[in-house]
Structure formats: C-alpha cells, structure tokens
Amino acid sequence: MEIFLDVLVAVLLILGCLMSLIAGIGLLTFPDMLTRMHAATKPQVLGFLLIFAGLAIYLRSWAVVPVLVLAWGMQLLTAPVSAHMIGRSGYRTKHAAKETLFSDELSHVVNKVNGTPPTGTTPVSKTGSPDEQD
C-alpha cells in the first residue's frame, strides 16, 4: 500500500510539473501574444491540481487538504482575471497579431468605440434629455 501511494505521488507530481514544461514550450512555439496567453495562464489549473493532490497524499494528512483547496481555489479565481486583463490590453495594442486571426468579431466594436469621444467630455445625446439642454 505504501509503495502504491508513493508511486501515485510520483506520477501526480511529474504530470503536474509536465504541465509547467508544456506551458514553457507553448510560450516559445506559439505565434503571437494572444495564443501565448493560453500557454502562460492555463496549465496551472490542471498542473496545480495534480501537484496538490500528490502533496496531500505524500503528507498523509487531512489537515492540509483545506489549505490546498484554498490555494487551488484562489488560482481558479485569479488566473482568468489576469488572462483577461493582459489579453484585453494586448488586443488594443500592437502586440496582438490581429491580421493572422481567422476571424475577428470584436474589431468593429473597438473601432466604433475609439471613434466616439470618451463619455463625460461631450454629451452623447440621442433623445436630448432636459438635463443636457440647459
């Protein structure tokens, strides 16, 4: 039983680390910033799950499980936010190779928004509410 658990721990840890290795390879091989974001932000979801599972079995203790669940949960909550923020600003700068995209259904929205002045400077009035006329 002990041997079986130790082998399981080894497999889980190695698979978890493999996810990080693949993330590194992805960073090198993917063509542009947006595709690289996939490699840079995602493997931790699975990689950490495997590493944490291995760690919990290795320590043979139920007391650490809530801490590991907490750490994994925090990763789940924060990773999408960072991916979104980097992706959003990357899309609006030169770093995203937009011409290589198969299709782009956001560009016309961004172009439209960039064409209108920021809200607050000039009243963007469609109906002409009484507030804006006096």
Among 2, 3, 88, 118, binds other proteins (CB under 8 A): 88
Could you say whether residue 129 binds other proteins (CB under 8 A)? yes
Q: Which DSSP symbol is given to 119? A: T
CA-to-CA dists, residue 18 to 32, 44, 56, 92, 101, angstroms = 23, 11, 19, 33, 29
Selected binder of other proteins within 39, 57, 58, 72 (CB under 8 A): 39
Measured distance CA(109)–CA(32) in Å, rounded: 22
Residue carrying the six token digits 């924060």: 78
**Which region among 1-9, 52-60, 99-107 touches other proteins (by CB under 8 A)?**
99-107
Phi, psi values for residue 67, rounded to 5°: -65, -45
Which residue, 45, 51, 58, is CA-closest to 17? 51
Site string for other proteins, 53-82 (x = CB under 8 A): ----------xx-xx-xx-----xx-xx--
Binding residues vs other proteins (CB under 8 A): 19, 22, 25-26, 29-31, 34-35, 37-39, 41-43, 45-46, 49, 63-64, 66-67, 69-70, 76-77, 79-80, 83-84, 87-88, 91, 100-107, 109-110, 129, 131
